[in-house]
């Protein structure tokens, strides 16, 4: 795990002062690190009857698609507003300044569908809380919220209380 952590590049003060940005491109571009990370995130779910993996735009698509391929499921997309062509349902959530919105196709989820939701980084948890709320509304059973990395100091798990949360790599800054 130490080796995988080292593959994530820390960029201080990006995109603005005070943020320690976890650049995952350096892990993704290394074949054995990418493969190992996805294997470790996916293998725990092999016999859990997962129906689909949900990926959150944009880096969550990479995690979600690779995990879905590994698990032999489909991948469902949660996208920024205006990107999905069919009828959508959406969730609005708070950002540091202002609000944002995420959407999913209204027919993407069958009630009772067992899903994993994947994203790259758990920071404040606002994004995943909004996505999970959206999936709840559509009747999905969320088996796990799964992240490549977690910024533990930001206490994102508190926004996801009552949900199963897994992160492969933990950073305390």
- Per-position b or e across 109-141, b if 16+ CB within 10 A of its CB: beeebbbbbbbbbbbbbbbbbbbbebbeebebe
User: Which is catalytic among the residues 36, 59, 101, 114?
Assistant: 59
Residues of this chain that interact with ligand AMP (CB under 6 A) are 19-22, 59, 119-127, 151, 156
30/9 Cα distance (integer angstroms)? 12
Minimal distance, residue 72 CB to ligand AMP, in Å: 25
CA atoms of 109 and 88, how far apart (whole Å): 11
User: In the annotation, is 114 catalytic?
Assistant: no
Q: Residue 120: enclosing H or E segment and its boundaries?
A: strand 114-122
In whole angstroms, give the CA distance from residue 54 to residue 116: 6
SS3 call for 76: strand
Q: Residue 46 CB, nearest distance to ligand AMP (Å)?
A: 25
Cβ 47 to ligand AMP, closest distance in Å? 28
Output the smallest distance, CB 121 to ligand AMP, in A.
Answer: 4
Which whole-number Å values give the CA distances from 129 to 117, 134, 142, in the listed order? 11, 9, 12
| Distance between CA atoms of residues 63 and 147, nearest Å | 8
> Would you name the residues annotated as active-site residues?
59, 96
């Amino acid at each position: 795990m130490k080796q995988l952590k080292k593959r994530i590049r820390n960029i201080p003060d990006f995109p603005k002062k005070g943020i320690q940005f976890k650049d995952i491109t350096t892990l993704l571009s290394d074949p054995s690190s990418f493969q190992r990370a996805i294997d470790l995130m996916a293998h725990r779910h092999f016999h859990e009857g997962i129906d689909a993996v949900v990926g959150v735009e944009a880096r969550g698509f990479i995690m979600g698609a690779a995990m879905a391929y590994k698990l032999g499921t489909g991948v469902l997309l949660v996208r920024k507003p205006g990107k999905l062509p069919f009828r959508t349902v959406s969730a609005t959530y708070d950002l540091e300044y202002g609000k944002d919105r995420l959407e999913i196709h209204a027919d993407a989820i069958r009630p009772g569908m067992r899903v994993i939701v994947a994203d790259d980084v758990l920071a404040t948890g606002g994004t995943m809380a909004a996505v999970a709320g959206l999936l709840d509304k559509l009747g999905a059973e969320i088996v796990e919220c799964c992240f490549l990395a977690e910024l533990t100091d930001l206490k994102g798990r508190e926004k996801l209380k009552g949900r199963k949360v897994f992160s492969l790599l933990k950073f305390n800054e």
